[in-house]
Structure 1
């Protein structure tokens, strides 16, 4: 098994918007130095992305192989299924304050803590399912803050489709967007069958017509970490290629 060349540390940030402490996982690359400006990639479902998605390990290997730029990766943790739904779901009671926390408090904290690229392209987001919805919503609301986004099987409600339909240009954004070809029949944790594939295909058509840096792929399989994990390699190379 490959040994991590960079390092992962635990961190915490208090959110005034949410009135709670949020746990973070922070990956810094090998040869990390405060003298260099680094792009930052922020992951929803932080613990899952680091453990099940192997995000930091995968990025670490790609950096060592010089296939991607050196990058700081921040995993934002939630406190379980109910807390996740309250923060990530557009109807959740903590959702609007979570969006504010991400866009205002977390970014300010990271810009103070690290020598970050202050341009929009310097701050990226990655999310799966409802986390993908959050990542996409943040990039649409704050395109000058979050210039890069990885959407893995994102939840696409009608409201998001209407938002993108009303946008005339999105040149500032770089988007990697993927969905499984079996996601017409996804059973969510509550046991409800949802069609993720059709709205994602609809969103792909809309994004393809906009002048932006955009990559879309349909992988074989369903709404599972085993598929998202494999998909992380092309996603990171698309966003942070060294070439």
Structure 2
């Protein structure tokens, strides 16, 4: 039997903080109706998550075959490598305003556009690498806005380790956190080799000491979309399982 497919449409939002128009991809589940309140999952690297990560296709299958909770997925697109770094990297010139855009402008827009669950658990984030850093940082800064987060092979600078070490409680959050077991040697697009695995294991130890809904996984492989795409299945199950 063919799987029912949700719809994907293009959208735009103007950000006053960034002084630019941001392209969005919006996925509505197959049986979407405006009469029902839906949780929303917001993806950094939106286009990559839809195309390389097969996020919408994976959600379609899990919603139909496993009774995964129906949700709206919003992909936030960047304008290329330099724009991504300026917005996602903690040292980037657009970083702080991008955080404000995500926390205030985008959430307000989505709450007006859709019949959403007006609770922290109703708004989720997903990101990989630098996008994982942004997703995690937003959930720490605004836990009452973003109550669920998936971080796949996130960039974990020392400043993030220090921030988490200083936190006494995060029980409002649900976090799925994964990293590849070969990510001690990852060479980024600029040709710089970094160890992603060790700081992610440090972060895992800190999060395990906090009272929160938390799942950690180490998958086989390196810092690649083919691995994140497979990892989406347990990640979505953890955040949106109806069981």
TM norm structure 2: 0.98
Report the RMSD for the aligned CA atoms in angstroms.
1.1
Give the drift of 1:66: 3.4
61-70 vs 11-20, which deviates more?
61-70
Give the drift of 1:45: 0.1
Matched residue of 2:101: which SS? helix
Aligned pairs for 1:82-93 within 5 A: 82-93=82-93
Q: Is the 8 A contact 1:67 1:237 kept in 2?
A: no
Give, in whole Å, the separation in 1 of the partners of 2:88 and 2:186.
18
Q: Which residue of 2 aligns with 1:169?
A: 169
Question: Are positions 1:178 and 2:178 aligned together?
Answer: yes
27-36 vs 134-143, which deviates more?
27-36
| Equivalent residues, number | 243
Q: Which residue of 1 aligns with 2:34?
A: 34
Give, in whole Å, the separation in 1 of the partners of 2:198 and 2:22.
34
Aligned pairs for 1:14-163 within 5 A: 14-163=14-163
Cα deviation, 1:84-139, whole Å, max 9, x if unaligned, reads: 00000000000000000000000000000000001000000000000000000000
Give, in whole Å, the separation in 1 of the partners of 2:161 and 2:182.
21
Give, in whole Å, the separation in 2 of the partners of 1:31 and 1:208.
37
Give, in whole Å, the separation in 2 of the partners of 1:222 and 1:114.
37
Give, in whole Å, the separation in 2 of the partners of 1:70 and 1:102.
22
Give the drift of 1:4: 5.3
Cα deviation, 1:15-66, whole Å, max 9, x if unaligned, reads: 0000000000000001211110000000000000000000011001111113
Extract unaligned runs of 5+ from structure 2: none
Extract unaligned runs of 5+ from structure 1: none
Give, in whole Å, the separation in 1 of the partners of 2:22 and 2:130.
18
Question: Are positions 1:192 and 2:195 aligned together?
Answer: no
Give the drift of 1:3: 5.8
Give, in whole Å, the separation in 2 of the partners of 1:88 and 1:4.
34
Give the drift of 1:199: 0.2
Q: Is the 8 A contact 1:4 1:57 kept in 2?
A: no
